[in-house]
Amino acid sequence: MALDGYTGPDLSRQAMTAEFLDAETELQLARAWRDHRDERALHRLITAYLRLAISMAARFRRYGAPMGDLIQEASLGLMRAADKFDPDRGVRFSTYAVWWIKAGVQDYVMRNWSMVRTGTTSGQKALFFNLRRVQARLDREASDRGEPMDPVTLRTRVAAALGVSVAEVEMMAGRLSGSDYSLNVAQGSDGEGRDWIDALEDEGQQAAEAVEAAHDGDLLRGWLVRALQGLTARERFIVAERKLKDQGRTLESLGVELGLSKERVRQLEAAAFAKLRSKLESQTGELRHFLK
In this predicted structure, what is the pLDDT of residue 5?
Answer: 45
Query: In one letter, which amino acid is 57?
Result: A
Cα–Cα separations (whole angstroms), residue 176 to 55, 110, 138, 152, 173: 25, 11, 18, 17, 5
Domain boundary among 68, 86, 113: 113
Task: Of 151, 107, 149, give the one whose Cα is nearest residue 129.
Answer: 107
Residues 146 and 234 in one domain: no
State residue 201's pLDDT score: 64
In a domain, 187, yes or no: no
Of 66, 93, 113, which residue constitutes the final position of a domain? 113
**Domain span at 221:** 210-291
Domain at 256, CATH number: 1.10.10.10
Q: What's the CA gap between 239 and 231, in Å, rounded?
A: 10
What is the full per-residue pLDDT of the chain (292 aa) written as tens digits? 455 444 455 666 767 777 889 999 999 999 999 999 999 999 999 999 999 999 999 988 888 788 888 998 999 999 999 999 999 998 999 999 999 999 889 888 877 765 445 556 777 777 777 777 888 888 888 888 888 888 888 888 888 888 888 888 887 776 666 554 555 666 666 666 676 566 666 666 667 777 777 777 777 787 778 888 888 888 888 888 888 888 888 989 988 888 989 899 899 989 888 888 887 777 655 555 544 4
Q: Is residue 188 part of a domain?
A: no
Rounded CA separation 283/286 (Å): 8
The verdict on residue 15 lying in a domain is yes
At residue 35, what is the residue type? Answer: D
Q: DSSP of 173-206, one letter per residue?
A: HHHHH-----TTSBSSTTS-S-BGGGGS---SPP
Q: Let me know if residue 194 belongs to a domain.
A: no
Domain identity same for 106 and 20:
yes
Quote the number of domains for the chain. 3
Residue 25: its pLDDT value, please?
Answer: 93
For 195, list phi and psi in degrees, rounded to 5.
-75, 160
Q: What global pTM score does this model have? A: 0.49
Does residue 58 belong to any structural domain of this protein? Answer: yes
